[in-house]
Amino acid sequence: MTGENLAPKQSWCMTRRCVIALSVLAAGGAQAQQRPAIVKASKKVAGYIEKNDASAQNCSQCHFYLDPFDCMVVEGPVSPWGYCNYFAD
């Protein structure tokens, strides 16, 4: 018995735990591929108005505003003092 591998042979066996784990991974991967693309509204559709003065409701106070000149819902550069119909504080 010298020189022989004495370790038991491992057979490939699919357990319920393994099947469940693989199905969860597969379902998670499928959901990640099905995410819709984010589509921004045009300035015309959003009713965007570019203003030169600060007011109570302007882009810099909005939840969707991304500093310095971007917005999550309106396409193109936006002014921090602008306003649109999607304003959310």
Mean pLDDT computed over 56-64: 91
Predicted TM-score (pTM) above 0.85: no
Mean pLDDT computed over 56-61: 90
Long-range contacts made by residues 38-42, C-beta under 8 angstroms, separation at least 24?
38/72, 40/71, 40/72, 40/73, 40/74, 40/75, 41/73, 41/74, 41/75, 41/86, 42/74, 42/75
Mean pLDDT computed over 13-39: 70
